[in-house]
Amino acid sequence: MSVKEFIKSQVEQFASPITPEQFTELTETENSLIILEIPFKDYTLTEIARIVESNNVHVMALSVMPVAGGADLLVSLKLDADDPSAVLRSFERFNYRVVYYFMRKGEVTDTQQERLDELMYYLEM
């Protein structure tokens, strides 16, 4: 699975309506999605959870996929926050690379859409 396919599958799973069969996998408290790209040697789940929880947000689901021959990991975090901007700023402060984020409730600004378009262009290269 490529990076683009991973991001697409995570977004599709997150944004699609919930069927009764999927109810056990996805709760109503998951309101945002953040995907990080982390070098394998720097991956520490406790550090990621500490950053998220220091902003009074909880990790509801987590997926990890190796990329770039196993040198990097894509970490998908489903959070219970309507607005994860405080978490995003914290990741930025601790030098984590956020490759994608999504808010279930909220509006996508022009800047956010431009960044998403740039990411998708980069992934298609």
Q: What is the mean pLDDT of the chain?
A: 79
Judge whether 57 and 101 are in contact, CB under 8 Å.
no
The residue ranking higher by pLDDT, 23 or 101, is 101
pLDDT at 29 over 70: no
Domain-by-domain residue ranges, the chain? 3-124
Band (pLDDT 50/70/90 cuts) for residue 123 is confident
Q: Which residues pair with 98 in a beta bridge?
A: 36
For the domain made up of 3-124, the CATH class stated in words is alpha beta
pTM for this structure?
0.63
Helices (H) and strands (E) in the chain, counts: 4, 4
43-70 pLDDT per residue, tens: 999 999 999 999 999 998 888 888 877 7
